């Protein structure tokens, strides 16, 4: 794990990271993100049960906000959490423990609420801030051990975007828990499971830095990176934030409402999960494919993610629009649920490295911006998803989601145009620099040749005669 050796010059023990330890940190980081992401995606099962059960008088939009608001608060506050962790000299274990405790407390208190509105306090606030601390801790420590220059950087950042994998299992697992024990006891069981998983990371999350000067330098660069944002990066940030908002609206609009969409025609809760599971399976398959490819090739996706996102987004938009007109066909609906999830996958799986590529910012700065945009999307998602589903009984639901994805496609296309224009400008600038450098070199060579020519043969012979005289003496 971490060994210590003595710095003889400073007479202080210095940490030395064992070779396999970064991958242990990465494993626990991925496990935490997978569990947190799995709950966000599977919370639609709770929504479907509450809407048709104990809280049937509560509107679908309000129940969606309960499912969205905790994740929205967690995402939006990651910038604040990241700054807080940096200001505390990167005390990862402390903030990981606080986050784990808040999530446990959120689940236990949510199990005893008298009505749905109390969940905005117990679940939204407590779980939101708890998940924010854990996501910020994971983002910082992964970027510390696997920075942009690390050969496994894209693999590492892909692994910590794996919430979609857990949703395949969690959707059905949540349904069985609710059916067998009721939603209140299900909250308690999940709280204990999450506490054990989140707490286990406290024993692994150690800082990489070997001395205080290196730590202070990194802290300074991390905190002041906002001041280094160039004017050319601002349009990229704006388009990328809008892209994240659209992505989040559609992602959680689908995940939180597909179970309720199926629940209208299914007698059992466990049977209403098929479309949600297929949508999550499509998303998860891109995660598995991306992980395998990056594991084998290291940098296959380097500077190619913008094109992958562009194509997959366009295909998803077309799939959702087509779904609106064939929604009565169960077989086509299941196929399109998987296809839509598959096309959405790259936008979620490559969240960290795609943020770097699309904004040209360092990862630990682009990641909070990405989460902030997704948090805003979660906050407004019920207005454009659940409210429409409730008012029009799911008519026009998929068509509106497809329109939102077309907006996302327009933002990605704009980013690609800006990046291509910037790369051409930088290339012309580099060519100009190279020509000027060559000119300088030629001038230096000419001056050297002039010096050689100015050195006459007579002068050289006189010097040789003097040296001969000295040697003879």
Q: What is the mean pLDDT of each run of 10 residues along the chain (473 residues)?
A: 48 56 86 82 80 81 82 85 88 94 94 88 90 89 79 68 71 86 92 94 79 46 57 89 94 87 80 86 86 79 89 97 94 95 90 86 77 87 87 91 96 94 59 49 50 48 47 45
Q: What pLDDT does residue 6 have?
A: 46
Domain presence at residue 443: no
CA pair distance 258, 43, nearest whole angstrom: 11
Could you tell me the residue range of the domain that residue 320 belongs to? 16-211+228-428
Q: What pLDDT does residue 213 have?
A: 42
Domain presence at residue 440: no
Task: Kindly report the CATH number assigned to the domain that includes residue 107.
Answer: 1.20.1250.20
Instruction: Report the number of distinct structural domains present in the chain.
Output: 1
What is the SS3 assignment for 349-376?
Answer: HCHHHHHHHHHCCCHHHHHHHHHHHHHH
Domain presence at residue 473: no
DSSP letter for each residue of 54-79? TTTTS-HHHHHHHHHHHHHHHHHTHH
Domain presence at residue 94: yes
Domain presence at residue 11: no
Write the CA distances from 191 to 188, 215, 375, integer angstroms.
5, 35, 22
Q: What pLDDT does residue 41 have?
A: 72
Q: How many CA atoms lie within 13 A of 35 on its CB side?
A: 22
Q: What pLDDT does residue 408 have?
A: 97
Backbone angles phi, psi at 15, to 5 degrees: -75, 140
233 near 359, Cβ under 8 Å? yes
Domain presence at residue 464: no
Q: What pLDDT does residue 386 have?
A: 86
Q: What pLDDT does residue 418 have?
A: 92
Q: What pLDDT does residue 428 have?
A: 52
Domain presence at residue 218: no
What number of other Cβ atoms are within 10 A of residue 224's Cβ? 9
Domain presence at residue 421: yes
Q: What pLDDT does residue 196 have?
A: 95
Burial (CB count <10 Å: 0-12, 13-18, 19+), residue 101: middle
């Amino acid at each position: 794990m971490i060994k210590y050796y003595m710095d003889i010059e400073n007479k202080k023990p210095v940490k030395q990271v064992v070779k396999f330890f970064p991958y242990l940190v990465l494993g626990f980081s991925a496990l935490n993100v997978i569990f947190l992401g799995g709950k966000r995606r599977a919370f639609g099962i709770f929504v479907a049960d509450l809407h048709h059960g104990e809280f049937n008088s509560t509107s679908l939009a309000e129940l969606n906000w309960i499912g969205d608001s905790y994740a929205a608060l967690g995402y939006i506050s990651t910038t604040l959490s990241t700054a807080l962790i940096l200001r505390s000299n990167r005390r990862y274990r402390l903030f990981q423990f606080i986050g784990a405790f808040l999530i446990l407390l959120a689940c236990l208190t949510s199990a005893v609420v008298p009505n749905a509105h109390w969940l905005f306090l117990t679940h939204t606030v407590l779980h939101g801030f708890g998940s924010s601390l854990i996501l910020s801790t994971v983002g910082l420590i992964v970027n510390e051990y696997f920075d942009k220059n690390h050969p496994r950087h894209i693999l590492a950042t892909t692994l910590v975007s794996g919430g979609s994998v857990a949703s395949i299992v969690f959707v059905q697992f949540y349904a069985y828990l609710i059916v067998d024990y009721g939603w209140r006891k299900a909250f308690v069981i999940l709280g204990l499971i999450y506490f054990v998983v989140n707490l286990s990371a406290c024993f692994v999350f150690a800082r990489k830095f070997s001395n205080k000067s290196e730590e202070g330098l990194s802290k300074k660069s991390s905190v002041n990176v906002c001041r280094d944002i160039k004017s050319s990066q601002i349009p990229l940030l704006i388009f990328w934030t809008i892209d994240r908002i659209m992505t989040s609206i559609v992602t959680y609009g689908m995940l939180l409402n597909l179970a309720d969409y199926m629940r209208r025609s299914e007698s059992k809760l466990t049977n209403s999960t098929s479309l949600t599971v297929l949508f999550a399976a499509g998303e998860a398959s891109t995660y598995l494919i991306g992980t395998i490819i990056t594991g084998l090739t290291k940098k296959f996706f380097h500077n190619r993610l913008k094109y992958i996102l562009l194509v997959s987004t366009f295909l998803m938009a077309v799939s959702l629009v087509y779904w609106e007109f064939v929604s009565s066909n169960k077989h086509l609906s299941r196929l399109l649920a998987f296809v839509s999830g598959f096309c959405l996958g790259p936008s979620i799986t490559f969240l960290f490295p795609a943020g770097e590529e699309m904004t040209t910012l360092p990862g630990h700065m682009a990641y909070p911006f990405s989460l902030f945009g997704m948090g805003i999307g979660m906050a407004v998602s019920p207005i454009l998803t659940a409210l429409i589903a409730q008012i029009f009984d799911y008519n026009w639901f998929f068509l509106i989601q497809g329109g939102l994805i077309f907006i996302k496609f327009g933002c990605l296309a704009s980013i690609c145009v800006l990046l291509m224009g910037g790369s051409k400008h930088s290339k012309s600038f580099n060519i100009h620099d190279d020509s000027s450098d060559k000119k300088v070199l030629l001038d230096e060579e000419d001056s050297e040749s002039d010096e050689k020519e100015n050195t006459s043969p007579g002068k050289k012979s006189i010097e040789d005669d003097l040296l001969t005289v000295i040697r003879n003496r």
